[in-house]
Amino acid sequence: MKTNILAIDPGLSGTGYSFHADHEAMPILAGSIYAPSTVTEWLDKANYIRARLVDTILVTCITAKERLAVVIEQPSVMSSSEKGVASAGKGDVIKLSMFVGMLAATLIDNGVDSVEFVPVIVWKGQTSKYVVNKRVERITGPLPYKAHALDAIGIALWKMGYLK
């Protein structure tokens, strides 16, 4: 049975997604979801992004009528960066972890077959975002996506064995 992949790069400032047919490097659907600037509370942002994810992406993925595996980047403290340490001090990693739990529950409630969490160190190691983007585009060719969406595509490519 074919297994489609939905990869998610979660973030309260923006969440990337990438939907791939069984072992296809090029995404069928990819992009980023951002809460409007008028939404300022983290829980409101989380609920906005979660709802858009279900409305715009999950419907497409589930209607493919094939097995769907979801891979979500696991939140972690980036202790090697000042920004990461500052975020941890403000509780951002806890909020992001709660958001990821909300996403996983929503996906399972909507019929997703499996949800896997992958630490950033596992799927991209210590590689910079620039290098990861270049590695992704070496496999897929030039892509019109940026930041969060490219990370989601990278996660999907890792899951399918394209990135080692």
Q: Is there a domain that residue 164 lies in?
A: no
Is the pTM higher than 0.85?
yes
Strands 114-119 and 67-74: parallel
Query: Could you tell me the CATH number of the domain that includes residue 14?
Result: 3.30.420.10
Q: Which residues lie closer than 8 Å to 8 by C-beta, 6 or more apart?
A: 15, 16, 17, 53, 70, 71, 72, 73, 103, 152, 155
Please report whether residue 60 resides in a domain: yes
What are the pLDDT digits (tens) for 30-70?
Answer: 999 999 999 999 999 999 999 998 887 767 666 666 788 89
Number of structural domains in the chain: 1
pLDDT at 109: 87
**Structural domain of 14:** 3-159
